[in-house]
Structure 1
Amino acid sequence: MSEFSSQSQKRSFLDRYFQLSEHKTNVKTEIIASFTTFITMVYIVFVNPKILGDAGMDSQAVFVTTALITAIACILMGAVAKLPIALAPGMGINAYFAYVLVGSMKMTWETGMTLIFLGASCLFLLSLFKIRYWMVANIPFSLRVGISSGCGLLITLIGLHNAHIIVADPDTMVRLGDPKSLSFILGSLSFLIVAVLAQKGKHASVLISFIVVTLIAWGLDDSVVFHGLVSMPPDITPVVGHLDFEKVFNFSMIGIVISVMLINLFESSGTFIAVTDKAGLADKDGRYPNQQKSLYIDSASSAAGAFMGTSAVTAYVESASGVAVGGRSGLMAVGVGLLFLLMIFFSPLEKMIPLYATTGALIYIGVLMASDLAKIKWEDLTEAVPSFVATVAMPFTFTITEGIALGFITYVVMKACTGRYKDLTICTVVMALLFLARYIFL
């Protein structure tokens, strides 16, 4: 007994707190995993300000708040839930906010961000009352895939548009842009760099793409100017706490709030299960240590992110890159958070990166999000048709809400009209009825 006590005392605080020995890892391995994960997801501090800047927000302030909420969420996930999972503002929701709510629906960015905040707050309530995973289990897999894939196609469309690879046309709605234009060429190059390097297993593929395309643009594009490397963080008051509840409490907004909640629900839940399973922390039923704490942190960070003006926060599947190099504990997530905290001093770089340099990241995310379509049972039309409808409706209507609504309604109709009532769950039927009522009474 005394020998065991002596060995326990020799263990460092980090070893004991994060149970490094139990997880068969060490501080050095966790630090390497932190850097690996950081490199794979640092693109968000450059992409998010560009997207939200298109909605009229102060991109420099968004750069800082993006880094801040990412740091806070990661440190909490690592220190409290003790899981090797990093969080950051989610791709998809930010594009939906900027280009649909603000761009297409003509909301003010304050109103749009309030809807994101309400959706994230609903997710927190689902976590608080322990019905979050019940919803995931009761929403059909085909719809989850269709919604995720549709978000991916919408993000891809936005990426193509940002580089003018796809442009509007009054006769054919869309057409190919000018292949000789600088934005077309460098936007295409950014995607090819990401795709090739990702195939070769390079974790920093997106970051490398940013660097290469920006350096080329610096020599060819007069609008790309070097503003310095580091500086004190810009003022964040132009974007923090600017929520406007005046126009959000009406029936027409319910679909948007539900859409935000569902996207966060599917993205985070899937990532938690995938990463903890890869780390050997999950059991066969998908349960993992400190599960409820992780859900509280995830959903509370999501609402906090919207309040801070960075869109909703979600768990990042890029965490798997850190796990792949040995990360097994919350120390990895804490390390990622500290690295993002340092990023608040690199805001001058955000002003230098051109919008088309983000094209590669956006299209690549679309590829990843659409990959699960291969898992759909295409021979069963009651599953395939709703998934397909949800997938194509998002980019074609240019809104996530309509894709989710049409997907749910189609699923219930297909199952009911073919006598497959047993496949319907209360959750799915209620969602379909809510979205149907939205169409009828608006």
Structure 2
Amino acid sequence: MLQGLKEMIKRRTKATIGKNDLKTEILAGVTSFFAISYIMIVNPLILSDAGIPVNLSIFATIIISVLGCLLMAVWANAPIILTPGMGVNAFFTYTLVVGMHFTWQVAIAVSLVSSFLYLVIAFTPLSRVLAESIPDVLKTGITVGIGLFLVELGLEKAGLITAGSNGSLLAFGSLQNPTTLLALFGLTLTVILYVKKIPGNFIIGIIVTSLVGAAFKIKGQATTVDVTQIKEYGKLLFQGDFQEIGQLKFWLAVFSMTMILVFESMGLLEGLLPDKSKFKKSFQSSAITALLSGICGTSPTVAAAESAAGIESGGRTGIVAGVASLLFASSIFLVRFLKYVPEAAIAPVIIITGALMMQQLQHIQIQDFSEWFPAFLIIVLIPLSGSIAIGLSFGFVSYPILKIMTKKTDISAIMWILSMLFLINLVCTAFLN
């Protein structure tokens, strides 16, 4: 029976499942789940500023993550985790609701229309045309930029960097902080496990660091979820309000969110997927799940950058996403136990993963400034602005301009169109804010 199951998995994943490979895929799924587990708490807290009840939003976040990861596993067979996107949720709350004075129900309607347009692009030749028109240097810049963004996120979770004072952007954290010391312990341990090529290195690091944190009474991710409130979750379903669909500002919001969803997802998938042949179905899975997000009552999903943690652990197939889907499903009842997994235990995995992604920098022709500078803008603006879309915008707008200035005219019409669209998006974003 076990052999039959093994053969079924082998046929489904089109991968050689050897003695240790299935174990590697499962461990990679667990690693990716823990790396992104904070989203179950953080996303509802951000959306609460838009007026969505926190407890109900936790259920929405978990349910759409279950559906997204399951779809990614079954349809795309890719090791990508789909959850409500950081940055997209901020755009939803602070631009659409706080800035433009939409209700959260109207913001859901904007998300639904944007996701439908995203779906149309994903299921037509447009997705292939767009992906093939992006120069390799910009794709590499996206990978490196996401890596640097993960490093910044990990350092922040570790308490090694904090918001600056006296005019500085960032400041070094305090080594007297027990959480920071725990993160440094976890980072040292996980790096050693990684360079020694110990199987399951990332998940071992998370578990051991969590146990040490528990021994020193360092708390994990706070949560007050009341499972009994799931019976009220229906209040978030099908809440899109289209009463302002005839207004110009509604369509400006739709344009900006569509640009964010399409190109942030495209950039993330191009940067994360170890097997680029899985891009099309992964992109389609992302689009379907983004549309389902609005129905479920939360901001749109995107591919989680933290998927890289599982990929760097050896995950290559949909088993990774399938395992994460099961863990998200169990989290409806077990989310309260996240208090035993402190951010200091997750931070080392995120930092190392970001560092590994940044190794792609070696493939950029730094000596050619017309190649390097657009990639440079993407790399630095993604983490510094906290927005993948902003980084992409500046990189894509600057690329054809520099090529023309250096008399290199081999720029496709599609690239010029993309550049103009990103420029319009920057203008619209400035107007919306």
Q: Normalization by structure 1: what TM-score? A: 0.73
| 1:341-373 Cα distance to aligned partner (Å, 9 max, x none) | 444332221244444444334323432443322
CA distance in 1, matches of 2:65, 2:130: 26
Q: Please tell me the residue identity of whatever aligns with 1:142.
A: V
Partner of residue 395, structure 2: 407
With 428-437 and 411-420 compared, the bigger mean Cα shift is at 428-437
Alignment partner for residue 161 of structure 2, among 162, 166, 175? Answer: 166
Question: Does 2:347 match 1:359?
Answer: yes
- Whether 2:23 is the aligned partner of 1:36: answer no
1:370 to 349, 352, 358: 358
Residue 46 of structure 2 aligns to a residue in which SS? coil
In structure 2, the CA distance between the partners of 1:53 and 1:34, relative to structure 1 (3 Å rule), is same
Which of 132, 135, 142 does residue 137 from structure 2 map onto?
Answer: 142
- Closer, same or farther in 2 for the Cα pair 1:53/1:415, shift >3 Å? same
Q: For 2:125 and 2:119, how far apart are their aligned partners in 1?
A: 10
Alignment partners' CA distance in 1, 2:413 and 2:85: 30
Alignment of 1:184-333 (within 5 A): 184-202=180-198, 204-221=200-217, 235=230, 237=233, 249-251=250-252, 254-269=255-270, 271-272=272-273, 274-275=274-275, 287=277, 295-305=283-293, 307-308=295-296, 309=298, 311-314=300-303, 316=307, 318=310
Residue in structure 2 matched with residue 388 of structure 1 by the alignment? 376
Distance 2:108 2:349 in 1: 23
One-letter code aligned to 2:397: I
Two-structure CA RMSD over aligned residues (Å): 4.3
- Map of 1:88 onto structure 2: 81
Q: Which residue of 2 aligns with 1:282?
A: none
Deviation for aligned residue 1:132 = 1.0
Post-superposition offset of 1:160: 2.8
1:344 aligns with 2:332: yes
Structure 1 residues 223 and 254 mapped into 2: Cα distance closer, same or farther (>3 Å)?
same
CA contact (8 A) 1:50 1:355 kept: no
Greater helix content:
2
Check conservation: 1:64, 1:234, Cα contact below 8 A: no
Q: Secondary structure of 2:303's partner? A: strand
Q: How does 1:422-437 map to 2 (within 5 A)?
A: 422=410, 424-437=411-424
Indicate the SS of the match to 1:175.
Answer: strand
Distance 1:87 1:363 in 2: 18
Question: Matched residues in 1 for 2:55 and 2:339: separation?
Answer: 8
Q: Distance in 2 between matches of 1:320 and 1:173?
A: 31
Give the Cα–Cα distance (whole angstroms) in 1 for the partners of residues 414 and 265 of structure 2: 17
Q: Contact 2:264 / 2:389 at 8 angstroms: preserved in 1?
A: no
- Per-residue deviation at 1:130? 2.4
The answer to whether the 8 Å contact 2:119/2:288 transfers is yes
Matched to 2:268, the amino acid is: E
Is the partner of 2:87 in helix, strand or coil? helix
Instruction: Give the superposition deviation at 1:68.
Output: 3.9
CA contact (8 A) 2:290 2:302 kept: yes
**Deviation per CA, 1:54-111, whole angstroms, max 9, x where unpaired?**
41547765665555444434444554x4x64244225xx7332356764699569947
Q: What is the CA deviation profile of residues 126-176 of structure 1, one whole-angstrom value per residue up to 9, with x for unaligned ones?
A: 221122121111011222222333233334333333443222213323221
Instruction: Give the 3 Å change call, closer, same or farther, for CA 256–69 of structure 1 in structure 2.
Output: closer
Aligned 1:3-152 pairs, distance under 5 A: 19=11, 32=23, 34-44=25-35, 46-57=37-48, 65-79=60-74, 81=75, 84-89=77-82, 94-97=85-88, 102=93, 110=104, 120-152=115-147
The answer to whether the aligner puts 1:181 opposite 2:169 as a matched pair is: no
Work out the percentage of aligned pairs sharing the same amino acid: 17
Distance (whole Å) between structure 1 residues aligned to residue 379 and residue 47 of structure 2: 28
Pair 1:358–1:249, CA change in 2 (3 A): farther
Q: Which stretch shows the higher mean deviation, 296-305 or 94-103?
A: 94-103
Amino acid at match of 2:153: I
Q: Distance in 2 between matches of 1:186 and 1:94?
A: 28
| AA aligned opposite 2:269 | S
Q: 1:333 to 1:226 in 2, by over 3 A?
A: closer
Q: Which 5+ residue runs of structure 2 have no aligned equivalent?
A: none
Gaps spanning 5+ residues in structure 1: where? 1-10, 276-285
Alpha-carbon offset, residue 376 of structure 1: 0.8
> When the two structures are superposed, what TM-score results if normalisation uses the length of structure 2?
0.75
CA, structure 1 residues 311+37, in 2 after alignment: closer, same or farther (shift >3 Å)?
A: farther
1:314 partner letter: A
Output the amino acid matched with 1:211: I
Relative to structure 1, the CA distance from residue 31 to residue 71 in structure 2 (aligned partners, 3 Å threshold; closer, same or farther) is: farther
SS of the aligned residue for 1:372 comes to helix
